[in-house]
Amino acid sequence: MPELAAKNPIRIAVVTGSRADYGLLYSVMRAIDNEPLFELQTVITGMHLSAEFGDTYKTIAADGFDINARVDCLLSGDSPVATAKSMGLGVIGFAEALRSLSPNMLLVLGDRFEIFAAVQTALILNIPVAHIAGGDTTEGAYDESLRHSITKMAHLHFATNEQAAQRIQQLGENPKHVFNVGSPGIDLIVQTPLLSKLQLAERLNTKLCEKLFLVTFHPTTLDATDVEQQCHELTGALDHYRHDCSVLITKANADAGGRRINQLLADYISQRKNTMIVTSMGQQLYYSAIAAADVVIGNSSSGLYEAPTLKTPTVNIGDRQKGRLRAHSVVDCGIDKEQILNAIEIALKMDCEDIVNPYGDGHASEKIMTTLREFADKNRLNGLLKKHFYGLTDGK
């Protein structure tokens, strides 16, 4: 590590596009910001910049992070064509942002289309990419293809579990650049003071029944079933508990069909007591809601990544998370009212106190920082750009 590193810090641009990836990135961003070897550059995009999805960039600013660039690419349409056009706008916006910031490294998490746009831009601009949460599988969404494509354009890989790390190597990545660190989202969970159920109700300005369901349902981009039918099956199952259970719904994302899901669920709660829908809760409220809930229901990755750490069972609906590693507290079911009801009943009887989360123990950001410090040298970073396809017989 060069002696002048602190005087000439490595500029790391971190891209965040939604409330979801920001919660997972927060601990890493904070660690980078506190490290003299690095200069954090925060680039916001996607749903963060949309009033429809809560203008969640304000949360990032309130947390004390400087926002160094904004890439506004999200169109208001709810179709695959609108998503594809948003990706194109993202590439244009990231080209300008990255030219202006001139980072030494781009750090991203996950598999959303705006992250894909950022990474392909960095590829053309010869900016090394560090990718968190590659190697997972989700067979029900095109995120699967985006994720593996990002892996091939990235240079340092921070997998959340050993299976994912092995898949990254299967894609031809150098094992010396693949690290199993766990999910950094768990870091924030263990660092966050949780609210009691009563405090949660007060913050949400509502009354909560003794039983509470937390629901998040996103579009399944490779599922031919229309979202109206999917929502009908889900709400039909929730109606079974309408007399003695509160239902707290968080809005779907901006993928094709997401706005329609939000409209359908908003129509549903307008006719039901003990139900509410929120655009964005912030991390403390969201983690507190998971902890207070009797069951997390839907198809969000947080049901697999975060709920097990908070000892709450998950009913995972449909194929959106198919193939992803899961704890024993996750109950899978189809998008069918009776299957959902059966899964909820199984989940309600679970004792999750001894559940082990396969995505780590809350020290991922420390492990990521250890590796980033090893590459706190511009020559070493640039040396990552020329990649060798690590074949099955290499190193033997």
pLDDT at residue 3 is higher than 50: no
Each residue of 244-277: pLDDT tens digit? Answer: 999 999 998 877 788 899 999 999 999 888 999 9
Percent of the chain residues past pLDDT 90, beyond the cut = 79
The domain segmentation of the chain, as residue ranges, is 3-182+362-382, 194-348
Residue 187 CA: distances (Å) to CA of 183, 228, 363: 8, 36, 6
Residue 209 CA: distances (Å) to CA of 273, 274, 281, 282, 338: 11, 7, 19, 22, 23
pLDDT at residue 371 is higher than 50: yes
**Got the DSSP string for 257-301?**
THHHHHHHHHHHHTT-TTEEEES---HHHHHHHHHH-SEEEES-T
Predicted TM-score (pTM) of this structure: 0.88
Each residue of 177-220: pLDDT tens digit? Answer: 999 999 999 999 999 999 999 999 999 999 999 999 999 999 88
CA-only gyration radius of the chain, Å:
21
**Does 140 or 148 have the greater pLDDT score?**
148
b/e 216-251 (16+ beta carbons within 10 angstroms → b) = bbbbbbbbeeebeebbebbbebbeebeeebbbbbbb
Task: Give the chain's mean pLDDT.
Answer: 93
Q: In this predicted structure, which of 133-142, 235-244, 290-299 has the lowest mean pLDDT?
A: 133-142
pLDDT of residue 125: 98
pLDDT of residue 223: 64
Q: The tokens of 85 are what? A: 């056009």
Residues paired with residue 127 on neighbouring β-strands, in sequence order: none
Each residue of 327-363: pLDDT tens digit? Answer: 999 999 999 999 999 999 999 999 999 999 999 989 9
Contacts of 351-356 with CB under 8 Å at 24 or more apart are 352/308, 352/311, 352/312, 352/313, 353/311, 355/308, 355/311, 355/327, 355/328, 355/329, 356/308, 356/327
Distance (Å, rounded) from C-alpha 189 to C-alpha 193? 8
Residue 2 — pLDDT band, cuts 50, 70, 90?
A: very low
**Does 320 or 4 have the greater pLDDT score?**
320
Residue 8 CA: distances (Å) to CA of 37, 380, 393: 8, 15, 40
CATH class held by domain 3-182+362-382: alpha beta
Each residue of 74-125: pLDDT tens digit? Answer: 887 778 898 899 999 999 999 999 999 999 999 999 999 999 999 999 999 9
Q: Which residues contact 388 (CB under 8 A, 6 or more apart)?
A: 174, 394
**Does 21 or 4 have the greater pLDDT score?**
21
Architecture of domain 194-348: 3-Layer(aba) Sandwich (3.40)
Distance (Å, rounded) from C-alpha 306 to C-alpha 352? 13
